[in-house]
Copies of this chain bind each other. A is one copy, B any other.
Amino acid sequence: MEYNIAVIPGDGIGPEIIREAMKVLDAVGRKYGHNFSYTQVLMGGVSIDATGVPLTDEALMTAKNSDAVLLGAVGGNVGGSNWYSLPPHLRPEAGLLALRKGLNLYANIRPAILFDELKAACPLREDIIGEGFDFVVVRELTGGLYFGDRWTKEVDGLRTATDTLVYNENEIARIAKIAFEIARKRRKKVCSVDKANVLDSSRLWRQVTKEVAENYPDVELVDMLVDNCAMQIVKDPGQFDVILTENMFGDILSDEASMVTGSIGMLSSASLGEGKLGLYEPSHGSAPDIAGQNKANPIATILSAAMMLRYSFDLDMEADRVEEAVRKVLKKGYRTVDIMSPEKTLVGTDKMGDLIAQEV
């Protein structure tokens, strides 16, 4: 089969980690007889430098016409750039938001896994880690405060800024369904997170989620307030299977969750919509401080590529193979600097990619 992948290296360490993910995809292609063809797309700071905007209409079109999008990272205060003196809608991140909205990728899936081999990197005490943890944050990605109307103007002589948080029942129902579907294939527990003691949108969220839950009698639904959830992720992450939440809460909680694993260089993410087209990117950022130094950990991007094989191309076996290859390379003791520990073998970005590709 032939698969067209729109590849967006982006900024900072983006190009280096994307290169390794492509290396691993090519190894998968050779082994299983698939043909992955890549179209490079500009987004973020590099796009601003080349075109003046963080995402051109043509770039969005290319992404739309692809079978899947693989993204490195965008933005960050890359030395010498002045991207952040531009107005907000022209900054690197605006490209990412436009891409999510343009492709209608309303479901962001971010696994928070404590890798057995990397327990030592987890910032939590051993007895809290317990048997380890493995949960998924399902974050609504095209609604809420991110895409509501906003304005700044003088009111009674004072500069006043307003953002709006809007959700309708359809937007809530479709993301809730995704969470329940995922939970069904896992430990069958959805924890829906909101602030229903304050927000109207959260009360609607809670109600619609409950309605959706009626179609999933085999899945348990629990509601949790966002402040409590922020505590529980630290106190007892093992209690979670699938966390379902709206855009802004999901931004905060999913980052907290990745940090709690201690292995943010390992965590992948997928953003999905109605069809098969998805956007796959590491959970971490563009890390401009180590860009171009062959130090970045490409594993999150490689595992994102595995998610792409699974969700967009239905290549489950191939996805398993990549995930297994990662585990084997870790087991053999190879580490990039972010996950290095005593008596392990330190390797650079490219070497890590080589090893995983070989293992495939």
Contacts and interface: CB of A to CB of B under 8 A. Distances in A.
Interface of A: 75, 88, 91, 93, 97, 122-125, 128, 145-146, 148, 150-152, 155-156, 158-170, 195, 197-201, 203-205, 208, 226-228, 230-235, 248-249, 251-256, 258-260, 264
Ordered nearest first, which 9 A-B pairs have the shortest CB separation?
A231-B259, A161-B204, A230-B256, A227-B255, A150-B200, A160-B168, A161-B200, A158-B168, A161-B201
Contacts of A159: 168-169, 204, 208
Given A124-B124, A252-B226, A259-B231, A201 B162 contact: yes
A126 to B, nearest CB: 8
B146 A198 contact: yes
B227 A162 contact: no
B162 A165 contact: yes
Contact of A165 (B122, B164, B234): B164
A159 B160 CA distance: 29
Contact of A160 (B123, B166, B231, B248): B166
Contacts of A123: 124-125, 128, 234-235
Contacts of A254: 227
A307 B203 CA distance: 35
A159 to B, nearest CB: 4
A4 B195 CA distance: 35
A312 B148 CA distance: 41
Contact of A145 (B128, B198, B228, B230): B198
A132 to B, nearest CB: 15
Given A123-B128, A155-B168, A163-B200, 9 more contacts: A88-B197, A93-B198, A97-B198, A146-B198, A150-B200, A158-B169, A159-B168, A163-B165, A164-B165
A170 B157 CA distance: 11
Given A251-B227, A256-B234, A256-B256, A164 B162 contact: yes
B252 A230 contact: yes
A256 B124 CA distance: 14
